Amino acid sequence: MRHLMIATTVIALTAPAVAAKPALRDVASIDNAVFDVAVANEIRKNCPDISARMVRALRMYNDVKKEARKLGYTDAEIDAYADSDTEKARMKARGAAYFKANGVSESDPQSYCALGRSEIQKSSRIGSLLREK
């Protein structure tokens, strides 16, 4: 009986630590995939010569959701992350820094095109979501 009480106490004390999950923004594989989709989307919206590979983007979206579920996140937690104004603002700021570091100017659509072509040529994940028209 004493062993059962000790085991129950140990389980009770360690369960919250095991159950605690980091915020989805702190799961690099998830956050980076969302970022790459956001960057590709901005490129295709601002460059008249580049379009989206929608099937690939949808597949990536589904893969990210599947990965989050495997990590123990619920659909509600995933949707809350995707719909969060705070997360959208953070992604926008991260994207702005990425575009600036890569020579993109909001007033120059061709700078988005140049970045998009570069990503396509590198076969990056961002590039895999884009195609030249």
Q: In the predicted model, what is the mean pLDDT of the chain? A: 89
| Domain-embedded: residue 15 | no
| Domain-embedded: residue 96 | yes
Candidates 115, 101, 103; CA nearest to 42 is 115
| Domain-embedded: residue 97 | yes
| Domain-embedded: residue 10 | no
Residue corresponding to tokens 């600036």: 100
Task: Please tell me the distance from the alpha carbon of residue 89 to that of residue 108, in angstroms, as a whole number.
Answer: 22
What pLDDT is attached to residue 62? 93
Q: How many domains does the chain have?
A: 1
| Domain-embedded: residue 83 | yes
Domain holding 55, by residue range, is: 22-132
Q: Is 24 in contact with 78 (CB distance < 8 Å)?
A: yes
What pLDDT is attached to residue 65? 95
Q: What is the DSSP string of 95-106?
A: HHHHHHHTT--T
| Domain-embedded: residue 80 | yes
What pLDDT is attached to residue 18? 47
75-120, pLDDT tens digit by residue?
A: 999 999 999 999 999 999 999 999 999 999 999 999 999 999 999 9
| Domain-embedded: residue 5 | no
Candidates 49, 55, 30, 46; CA nearest to 120 is 49
What's the whole-model pTM score? 0.82
Q: What is the DSSP string of 25-78?
A: GG-HHHHHHHHHHHHHHHHHHH-TTEEE-HHHHHHHHHHHHHHHHHTT--HHHH
